[in-house]
């Protein structure tokens, strides 16, 4: 079953709430990206918020924690650790 982060909308930035053309951000990076995608742990960000996140880490921990909390609403912490190997909480 795919999890979806509540409040995420395809045409509105999850962080600043601006409307327009958005980019998909995987809340978990690197080797965890595929699993994040499989469980719907992505949000839509405007180009400015996405750039700030990748270039400066702005809101990165917040989105990692949100992804883990979202996952753990339907699955266990043990499952999280087996799949993602790191707790952000």
Render pLDDT for 7-43 as a digit per residue (tens, 0 to 9): 999 999 999 999 999 999 999 999 999 999 999 999 9
pLDDT of residue 1: 45
pLDDT of residue 4: 86
User: In terms of pTM, does the model score above 0.75?
Assistant: yes
pLDDT digits (tens, 9 = 90+) for 40-88: 999 999 999 999 998 998 999 999 999 999 999 999 999 999 999 999 9
Report whether 68 contacts 89 (CB < 8 A).
yes
Residues in contact with 57: Cβ distance below 8 Å, sequence separation at least 6, in sequence order: none
Q: Rounded to 5 degrees, what are φ and ψ at 3?
A: -90, 145
CA distance 66 to 63: 5
């Amino acid at each position: 079953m795919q999890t979806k982060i509540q409040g995420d909308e395809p045409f509105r930035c999850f962080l600043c709430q601006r409307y327009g053309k958005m980019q998909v951000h995987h809340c978990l990076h690197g080797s965890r990206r595929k699993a994040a995608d499989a469980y719907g742990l992505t949000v839509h960000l405007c180009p400015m918020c996405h750039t700030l996140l990748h270039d400066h880490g702005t809101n990165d921990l917040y989105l990692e924690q949100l992804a883990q909390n979202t996952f753990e609403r339907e699955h266990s912490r043990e499952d999280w650790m087996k799949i993602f190997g790191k707790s952000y909480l």
